[in-house]
Structure 1
């Protein structure tokens, strides 16, 4: 009986020892440093300007943070994909492009312009009160679009209309390229087209054209005809920015980063504005699926509708 008891205890101790060793080995090793990339274009004061953000990042991750200045978004995509940096702020489209290349990136937060949700929408606008107030009614009419690289006035709406079952090239008689989304609204009102692609925050008062976007710009301009415009279709919501990390960073570090960034506007407003001067509304958490409307623009299924003659 005693021998059997000793054997049982030995098995328990052995099992416990194995489990303890597994637990001890399971935490991911933290990097010695965090490599922060910043797109600076031609800003010669960039290093000094973003220094408050770099210092705040060191406090958040409790690691030295090295700053890498990058000339373009293309350089930023290449650097994060090639593993030369660990963290970078990208546009939604640049994040989608990076993910298309290697699926090795992960978004943590996005920033917003105000206290409304940090999202905007691609929209399709027509004339209010006319017979063209639905997508079906607009079939066979002329649609104003932006140039082929325009995210909100071409790529996102055409891809997401196609995802909704509407191939813009087949649905509309012709796609008319305009200089900008505001020109598209003018084209509706002067009869050059019957619908136009634009963007909007869809937050705040509709009577003022919402808080931001093409309709708001037109309202603020004081031009005639604003009340005659109506939104016929909207895309899914799109985050304004993408603060992205390498997916292979330890999960604990990514959680620490996201939590610290969420508090940054309150805890260190100068550091927040150093990295998001044009979007002062603060950070919100995001996940990969939040960028679905933009990710579609890089999918083979929508390449044909996005191709320009």
Structure 2
């Protein structure tokens, strides 16, 4: 039998050993365990000068909102132009960005790694526009097939929507045998002016085709010309329209988990009502709020962009000529200007 004094000392020794050896033992065990990685920040890409603090200040309400909704740090990454923005998405260096329709199509064709979440609506509720060919009232041109050999005013080579996409869609509907004589002008407003002045026989413009016809519809080249007293709809006739070409979307990386994509999409849908400052920060042009949209809505853009060579998906390269500085939104947007 142990001595009584020894029995009394054993609990004290055990406690002392626990106090001295316990933390060391726990630390040794913890060192053997893999440490959990901190959550990756959510990276929002924007087009802005690299040293422009004003761009960061403008986006701060949106950055803060995203961080609160997703429960992670949100960062803003500045890129010099849309080509660089697309390349950053393709390379996985950013998680979200607002793109033009052509920019989204380029990223999608390059890597298949992005998806559109929402599209902004203009104040009139429209979420897109149409490419439109107009002629003077009384013209013998009554259908796209009649444009063969006729002078058609279109925007310059850098205009992806106003020229490349619009003429591709027109050729699809008119037939490849129909070849108008393209007369290059500064943009849709100049094209319409050339038509009214009689220098061409048709003009490629854009319109929502919604609203009062006598006012040139609600938004677009015709509307602006009528409002400025430069045109009268009684003197013009529409002979062809493209499918709806949606405004540029807010896109995210497809690899983001479904819960995050859903949370971000729901936040964007409610953003204009719940947090107007954050909405204005991320969408300063179209004030009508966001609508959900899918990839199929951008089929006209996707069909225009040729699939790139295989290395593009791994290097972050962007097909040459796929994205230009001439973009596809109405005036005063930095991402697109369909009426230039």
Q: TM-score with structure 1 length normalisation? A: 0.82
The residue aligned with 1:133 is 142
SS at 1:252 equivalent: helix
1:269 aligns with 2:269: no
Instruction: Trace 1:221-260 onto structure 2 (pairs within 5 A).
Output: 221-260=228-267
SS at 1:241 equivalent: coil
CA RMSD of aligned residues (A): 2.1
Aligned match of 2:48 in 21, 40, 56?
A: 40
1:195 aligns with 2:185: no
The residue aligned with 1:183 is 190
Aligned match of 1:92 in 87, 101, 105?
A: 101
2: CA distance between counterparts of 1:165 and 1:60? 48
SS at 2:284 equivalent: coil
1:107 aligns with 2:93: no
**1:168-226 CA distance string (max 9 Å, x none):** xx423411111221121122222221111111122221211122211111111102544
Cα distance 1:158–1:299, how it changes in 2: closer, same or farther (>3 A)?
farther
The residue aligned with 1:16 is none
Query: Is the 1:54–1:65 contact (alpha carbons within 8 Å) kept by the matching residues of 2?
Result: yes
Q: How far off is 1:149 after superposition?
A: 1.9
Q: How far off is 1:44 after superposition?
A: 4.2
Q: Which runs of 5+ in 2 are unaligned?
A: 1-37, 308-321, 323-340
Q: Which shows bigger deviation, 56-65 or 255-264?
A: 56-65
Instruction: Trace 1:291-302 onto structure 2 (pairs within 5 A).
Output: 291-299=298-306
Residues matched between the structures, number: 271
SS at 2:297 equivalent: helix
2: CA distance between counterparts of 1:102 and 1:193? 41
2: CA distance between counterparts of 1:129 and 1:147? 28
